[in-house]
Amino acid sequence: MTTCVLSGGVGAAKLLAALASVSDPRDIIGLVNTGDDLDLHGLRICPDLDTITYTLAGLNNQETGWGLTGETWRVMEELGRLGGESWFSLGDRDLATHLYRTQRLSEGADLTTVTAELTVKLGCPITLLPATHDAAPTRFLSADGQGLSFQEYFVKHHHDIAIASINLEAAAQCALTDAARHALESSTHIVIAPSNPLISIGPLLAIPDVTTILSAKRASVVAVSPIVGGVAIKGPAERLMRELGFEASALGVARMYRDLASTMVIDTVDASLAPAIEQLGMQVIVTNTIMDGGPVSATLGQSILDA
């Protein structure tokens, strides 16, 4: 009985931790978006894989809400003095992850293997799988006509820029890994994490065969809304959904996933949307989805496994 979770970064990490708290972590697989990955300073950086690894290993900085606990910034300080590219903050501990990954990739190891090594070394108890080994960067076109990489959009502009379109062409051209395919095909439960539907889940769904597999297994697919009370729990999901013509609500999310998931988990504050979602042909679970890393998370995790 394994659960495969289509995952972005922070929201997915919380959900994976919730699931791991109520079941055997070895039965949980995170199928992780790599559309945000970037090469910077020659290093391969995989923000979603790392966010999940650090969080599940208990190494995330709970005070700041991002980055590693006990992190220091010696390299970045010096790089700033050199006038180097320092807009993407890389802590010293975090850099070790990227050095390790880049070295192993340069030796010919694939990202699935390297990710497995890092999760074991760092103490992340679940399996994380990149969905693809191909470079498949998500691109943006801003309303004022600029082409932007994910990190230019997200970090440089702090996602505070109007977006005209999201380009997932690269994801559409890449190949699902064998391990990812097996995880999707063999899992008893598939969960779509409460990650941004457009820029975290979207790139996963754009990879050939993913929607085909989910459609075929729709009865065992559960999606958790990242929009609560019309607001994204974190990040630009709400604004992006509006700008790109989607309704920024749990109902809007349900419309995006209706052909892929049979069950939609929405927050209690959105209970009134349940009938409309049911009319889309989905079952609805109404529960508290604002995860606390404790009892609320556990209840949410159990509800999903019971679905």
**Site residues (vs a copy of itself, CB under 8 A):** 39-44, 72, 74-79, 81-85, 92-93, 95-100, 102-103, 105-106, 117-118, 121-122
Rounded distance between C-alpha atoms, residue 16 and residue 189, angstroms: 13
When the beta carbons of 97 and 138 are compared against a copy of itself, the nearer one is: 97
CB of 104 to a copy of itself, least distance (A): 8
CB of 98 to a copy of itself, least distance (A): 8
Rounded distance between C-alpha atoms, residue 90 and residue 242, angstroms: 31
DSSP, collapsed to helix, strand or coil, labels residue 275 as: helix
When the beta carbons of 114 and 214 are compared against a copy of itself, the nearer one is: 114
When the beta carbons of 75 and 298 are compared against a copy of itself, the nearer one is: 75
Query: How far, in Å, are 40, 159, 160, 164, 271 from residue 243 at the CA level?
Result: 29, 13, 12, 7, 25
Q: Order of strands across the sheet with 163-167?
A: 147-149, 139-142, 163-167
When the beta carbons of 63 and 107 are compared against a copy of itself, the nearer one is: 107
The number of CA neighbours under 13 Å toward the Cβ of 170 is 19
CB of 82 to a copy of itself, least distance (A): 5
CB of 134 to a copy of itself, least distance (A): 18
Tokens of 124: 């992340």
CB of 106 to a copy of itself, least distance (A): 6
Rounded distance between C-alpha atoms, residue 143 and residue 307, angstroms: 40
Query: How far, in Å, are 9, 28, 73, 135, 166 from residue 146 at the CA level?
Result: 25, 39, 31, 21, 12
CB of 154 to a copy of itself, least distance (A): 19
Rounded distance between C-alpha atoms, residue 165 and residue 251, angstroms: 21
Rounded distance between C-alpha atoms, residue 148 and residue 157, angstroms: 10
When the beta carbons of 101 and 189 are compared against a copy of itself, the nearer one is: 101
97 in Cβ contact with 29 (< 8 Å): no
When the beta carbons of 43 and 280 are compared against a copy of itself, the nearer one is: 43
When the beta carbons of 34 and 303 are compared against a copy of itself, the nearer one is: 34
C-alpha dihedral over 145, 45, 32, 303, to 10 degrees? -100
CB of 36 to a copy of itself, least distance (A): 18
